[in-house]
Amino acid sequence: MGLDDENKKGEASGETSDRENRLSRMNSESSLSEEDEERKPELGPMIALKEQLEKDKDDESLRRWKEQLIGVVDFEDVGETPDPVVKILHLTVRSPDREEMVLTIPDDGVPNPKGPWFTIKEGSKYTLVFNFRVTNNIVSGLRYNNTVWKTGVKVDSTKAMLGTFSPQAEPYQHVMPEETTPSGIFARGSYSARTKFVDDDNKCYLEINYTFDIRKNWQ
């Protein structure tokens, strides 16, 4: 009986110790969580690029540092608001087998609703080229997203980072890596696609839905 009593006391003491340890760990984790929250940087309001550039404009060393950071900015392309403006001018399909196909972006964002926007030959090498203009403010993390379907089934999905760009008068040009179209009887036919250009803030500058064909020969 004495041993049983001692064992029970020991078990009770162990249970109490375990509870204290668990509470201690919980308090510690809570404290760490609160510290992590406190460490999170608080971002200030977004400021128009023109206002940023005009700050300390008489300080030559600071002006040069800003130019190294964001490049030489054309003030005519800088607005009073903080939001960047990106206009996709056209897409180009380059292939060694034929002349370049320059695809102009319609104002309504609906390319050739009555038929395919373009036709590409099966098994051919091609490169996509994007021409776009940036005004008003710096666009950060501009990305290209493209999804392709055939008969309602998704057959391809591409995501590519284009980069960060400051406003300038001349358009930018981005060349994608070379690809090869599929070939064979099952590859030929009509495809539907959705192309989007978005930035780090998930702001969409262009979204277009269109169709294209893969055929035996160029059209």
Least confident of 76-90, 153-167, 205-219: 76-90
175 within 8 A of 127, measured Cβ to Cβ? yes
- Span 51-110, pLDDT tens digits: 555 555 666 665 565 555 555 555 555 556 778 999 999 999 999 989 999 999 887 777
Mean pLDDT of the chain: 78
Q: Could you tell me if 132 and 105 are in contact, meaning their C-beta atoms sit under 8 angstroms apart?
A: no
Q: Give the pLDDT score at 3.
A: 43
Confidence (pLDDT) at 108: 76
| pLDDT tens digit sequence for 2-49 | 444 444 444 444 444 555 554 444 444 444 444 444 454 444 455 555
> How many angstroms separate the CA atoms of 84 and 139, rounded?
6
Domains and CATH numbers, the chain: 49-215 (2.70.50.30)
| DSSP letter string, the chain | -HHHHHHHHHHHHHHHHHHHHHHHHHHHHHHHHHHHHHHS--------HHHHHHTTTT-HHHHHHHHHHH-PPPGGGB-SSS--EEEEEEEEEE-TTS--EEEEPPTTS---TTS-SEEEETT-EEEEEEEEEEEBS-EEEEEEEEEEEETTEEEEEEEEEEEEE---SSPEEEEPPPEE---STTT-EEEEEEEEEE-TT--EEEEEEEEEEEESS--
